[in-house]
Chains A and B, each alone.
Chain A
Amino acid sequence: MNIIILVKLVPDLVEELTVDASGAALDMSWLRLIINEFDDHAIEQGILLKERGGGQVTVIAPDVEGVDDVLFTAAAKGADRLIKVKGDFSAGVNNHALSRAFATIVKGLQPDLVLTGVQANNDIDGALGPLLAGMLEMPYVGYISGITIDAAKSKVRKEYPGGLIAEMEVNLPAVLGVQAAEQPPRYVAVSKVRQVMKTSTIQEQSAPTLDPSGGPTISRMFQPEAGGRATMLSGSADEISAKLVGIFKELGVL
């Protein structure tokens, strides 16, 4: 089973996000980039599939700050091959450009299964997984929380709101958008990652020029109005209740 996992590094929401001088893009200088948590789940799911049914797991990520650590951590979890895609990612790229960059590489590797997170916090033009599926003309199903492989088919659990699950059969090769791995991403001791850094290598592949066409042009980025302190409701229990009922109606609860 030849499994490929595509990883994006995205802005860490713990840090302050600000808009740059142009007013139309994120200020990259203050950004911390971390692995997209859904891609972390995709890695975990890929490793689980390998542990169950054998095969090879390849992890591919763009060459941005922090990528080496992300790839070596994946190797410490059990990934067999690590590929770093080199290109000019400094200004940030949209998913159309990234999926084009990945498409040629992925095609060459002839995977049975491509896993990636179902979404990422900086998506503005769809998601990496289904865009790539479109380019490779593979079937795509997203919001996956369980996968079993049976010969040339995969049985997947697709999540709907309210906890409803649809069990579907998807022909392989396919691209699946992972919502949650069957178990939370495992912990890897720092010592293990450091050990792996000495024994594993990251392959580098170049991307053709990054082509963002298909994504929107952003004319302005801004922060929504800041929160601040709660609007305090005052009065008797009756008065406060009435105000709350009004709020519930406004919010569509009543």
Chain B
Amino acid sequence: MTTTETVQQSIYDQVLESTPRGERLKLCLQCGDCSGICPFGYLMVHPPSRLIAQLRADRFEKVLETDTVWMCVSCYACTAVCPAQIPLTPGLMARTKEELILNGNVPAELQSALENSQRYGNPLGESPRKRADWVAGIQPEVKIMGKLRQPVDVLWFVGDYPSYHPRVQATAKALARVLHALGVNFGILGPEETSDGDSQRLAGERGLFEMLAERNGLAFSKYEFKEIITTDPHAYNAIKNEYPRLEISYPIRHYTEFLAERLDQLKPLLKQEVKAKVTYHDPCYLGRANDIFDEPRRLIAAIPGVELVEMSHNHKNSLCCGGGGGGMWLDGFQWEKAHVRLSEWRVKEALAAGADILAVACPYESPRFEDAAKTVQGAEQLKVRDIAELLVEAMGN
């Protein structure tokens, strides 16, 4: 049993030691910018600045007694705005959630997502053997590395939701079509791929993250490829920023970067007009966390007929869809506390911007925004499309 003293010390020291630039925690001015910009800060008993205050006041056990830390969706808004540049999201929030888990304070929904990740390698609880079932019927065939046994140029890390979730499989199929159209020599790991683990890491399960990363690392090491691309900004973030610390290091890009680089080749294929006002939602882990804002917009702008409009929160101050940091698996819990969904807020912004189509680039977003559009008045006609899906639409038949 850890004593209060040991718990605080270890958290304080942990953040300082285990996160890059963690020692900046000492520089907190208690300005409250983090708590102010946090989308759910108003519901937390201990929003980020107060968390730090409790740590410093020797009262971390107060935090462990509450459950509102689980309102954090790891959106990086606090981290982006902190004048002292403290790594709040990956350091403080993730580590606090870790302590909550160790103290048995885990909402049931999240618990089963974590247990599923452990047992099946994906939070949805689907059989790992079926991870590549989505490729059935696609011509030309999507190459699975384990069967191909030949080097490829690009290893496409598909991700949990694109592999298994019925709505997001459409994104995977769309991206496969685009890659084929561009003549990219790519392969996927299929059943050998396991969850990237990033959301689980940010939800406080560092041990689980390492276990999943190790599995992926092992799978990567078996094959020859020049670079990795991901459908998912979370996988991108994990493989780019976290895996190297576990000695798993590869050139890595999000698919929007990869395609934007090939825009000259892609543009002539976009023959079909898509006459619509399109607004782009910057995913937290592509935009704010990794500074990728332009490439997705360039892809959208390349589609004939499209008028790109911006929502009032865009680029660095984009609003989170609510799916990160475990949020995907805390929906019931967060709804009970908030009675409002971040995804609904965002859909309202899309409507206010006059958008016909809400374009996304993260697998969490299409199901979340489509669900939200069902309950927001006036959003019945709003379409939600991943950029890959828009490109395929523009490619026509």
> What count of chain B residues pass the 8 Å CB interface test?
23
Contact B205 A189 (CB under 8 A): yes
CA distance A55 to B32 in the complex (A): 48
B331 close to A (CB within 8 Å): no
Contact A187 B127 (CB under 8 A): no
Nearest B-chain residue to A194, judged by Cβ: B207
Contact B118 A190 (CB under 8 A): yes
Contact A189 B115 (CB under 8 A): no
Q: Quick one: CB contact mask for B80-120 with A, threshold 8 Å, 1 for yes?
A: 00000000000000000010011010101001001100111
CA distance A187 to B207 in the complex (A): 13
B208 close to A (CB within 8 Å): yes
Assuming the contacts A187-B106, A189-B205, A190-B205, asked whether A15 and B101 have C-beta atoms less than 8 A apart, the reply is: no
Q: Quick one: CB contact mask for B275-286 with A, threshold 8 Å, 1 for yes?
A: 000000000000
Tell me which residues from 36 to 51 in chain A have a Cβ below 8 Å from any Cβ of chain B: none
Partner of A190, one of B104, B125, B208: B208
Partner of B119, one of A34, A184, A187, A194: A34
Contact A191 B119 (CB under 8 A): no
Q: A interface, how many residues as a size bin?
A: 10 to 19
Contact B101 A14 (CB under 8 A): no
Contact A189 B102 (CB under 8 A): yes
B181 close to A (CB within 8 Å): no
Partner of B207, one of A34, A184, A190: A190
CA distance A197 to B211 in the complex (A): 14
Contact B127 A184 (CB under 8 A): no
B87 nearest CB across to chain A (Å): 20
Q: Quick one: CB contact mask for A1-40 with B, threshold 8 Å, 1 for yes?
A: 0000000000010111000000000000000001000000
A50 nearest CB across to chain B (Å): 15
CA distance A192 to B1 in the complex (A): 12
CA distance A192 to B111 in the complex (A): 15
Assuming the contacts A34-B119, A186-B104, asked whether A191 and B125 have C-beta atoms less than 8 A apart, the reply is: no
Q: Which chain B residues lie closer than 8 Å to A34 at the CB level?
A: 119
Nearest A-chain residue to B107, judged by Cβ: A187
Q: Which chain B residues lie closer than 8 Å to A15 at the CB level?
A: 127, 129
Q: Which chain A residues lie closer than 8 Å to B33 at the CB level?
A: none
Partner of A16, one of B127, B207, B208: B127
Partner of A189, one of B98, B108, B125, B127: B98
Assuming the contacts A14-B120, A34-B119, A194-B207, asked whether A187 and B104 have C-beta atoms less than 8 A apart, the reply is: yes
CA distance A189 to B115 in the complex (A): 9
Assuming the contacts A14-B120, A187-B114, asked whether A192 and B127 have C-beta atoms less than 8 A apart, the reply is: no
Contact B101 A187 (CB under 8 A): yes
Contact B111 A187 (CB under 8 A): yes
CA distance A59 to B127 in the complex (A): 28
CA distance A237 to B120 in the complex (A): 44
CA distance A25 to B120 in the complex (A): 25
Q: Which chain B residues lie closer than 8 Å to A191 at the CB level?
A: 205-207
Nearest A-chain residue to B209, judged by Cβ: A190
Nearest A-chain residue to B120, judged by Cβ: A14
CA distance A189 to B118 in the complex (A): 10
Nearest A-chain residue to B200, judged by Cβ: A190
Q: Quick one: CB contact mask for B152-192 with A, threshold 8 Å, 1 for yes?
A: 00000000000000000000000000000000000000000
Q: Which chain B residues lie closer than 8 Å to A194 at the CB level?
A: 207
18 contacts between A and B (CB under 8 A): A12-B119, A14-B120, A14-B125, A184-B108, A186-B104, A187-B104, A189-B98, A189-B101, A189-B102, A189-B204, A189-B207, A190-B118, A190-B208, A191-B205, A191-B206, A191-B207, A192-B207, A193-B207
Instruction: Across the A-B interface, give the 3 residue pairs with the lowest CB-CB distance, nearest first.
Output: A191-B207, A190-B207, A190-B208
- 7 further interface pairs, Cβ-Cβ under 8 Å (given A186-B104, A187-B104, A187-B106): A12-B119, A14-B126, A15-B129, A16-B129, A189-B101, A190-B207, A192-B207
